[in-house]
Amino acid sequence: MTKITAADGTPAAPFCFGTMQFGAGSTESQSQQVFEACRAAGINFFDSAWVYTNGASETILGELAKSEREKLILTSKGGYTGSASRENLTAQLDESLTRLQTDYIDIYFMHRFDDDVPLQETFDALTSFQQAGKIRQIGVSNYAAWQVMKAQGVAAQSGTRIDVIQPMYSLVKRQAEVELFPMCLSEGIAVTPYSPLGGGLLTGKYNRAEQATGRLSTDDRYAARYAPAQMHETAGALAQMAADQGVDPATLAVAFVAANPAVTAPIISARTVEQLRPSLAALTLPLSSEAYSTISALSPKPAPATDRLEEG
């Protein structure tokens, strides 16, 4: 499996913190408090993107990280807006480097698959960034398994490789188990999945109060993504299980993701330190195989990649 380390050789922490809320859901002061809480818990791995909060995420993270840059692993992503062309990626990467106040980004992700730009152009550009020392490792986000392997073949022709993928994954979004995770275990690709709390659904707050506020109530995209009744039933069952055990449902949700053998580091996130604590608690809650199976049974396991279900 690909190793993720800081420039000074420090291994990546078992969790990564996603800074998508910095400068939007979190004020600069709250962002600093959350960052410091992560560092106190031993987290040295922070995820961002060119597109997050119109650049505020990277700008705030860069200011917070600059005093110990070589000890930290900072990521960013490009190509979500515009395209995966050399010209667009060069412009976005250079702006990300400026915002982050750094000469290099530890892992640079393609934020989405781009059907309109030849993969050779994209990966030739990424290779040149790597050779220039602007990025250390290459990742892809929101790619299907066939897209990863197609891109990996092109990357090899360019003289590089995809080291990390960043898929969506949680107890209510398990499609990654079908092909992405087996692929990564087979090919030695690290996995840093996002949204382990299912957009906040698995915190239990939408079961506790009809007027709960969060992305499911304020963002139409998230509301649609987590609309199925089965997902809400799973969230309710997880909340009850957590109550029976005297833990927070968010802790169990993150622990479930972290326990998958393909997962390198789940990406946790929060607007405030108070919101962060249940996710951090999963650092010290390793799941037994029995506990993992019990939680897994709360949601439907996705069908295998082939149609030979009788052999599954």
* pLDDT tens sequence across 242-270: 999 999 999 999 999 999 999 999 999 99
Mean pLDDT computed over 157-164: 98
pLDDT above 60 for 209: no
Helices 249-259 and 273-281 cross at an angle (nearest 10°) of 50
Q: Which pTM value belongs to this model? A: 0.95
Instruction: Just list the catalytic residues.
Output: 52
Greater confidence, 45 or 212? 45
CATH number of the domain where residue 153 is located = 3.20.20.100
pLDDT score of 98: 98
Domain count, the chain: 1
76 found inside a domain: yes
172 found inside a domain: no
pLDDT score of 212: 67
- Average pLDDT of every residue of the chain: 95
Per-residue pLDDT reduced to its tens digit, 136-146: 999 999 999 99
29 found inside a domain: yes
86 found inside a domain: yes
Which domain, by its residues, includes 125? 16-166
pLDDT score of 211: 57
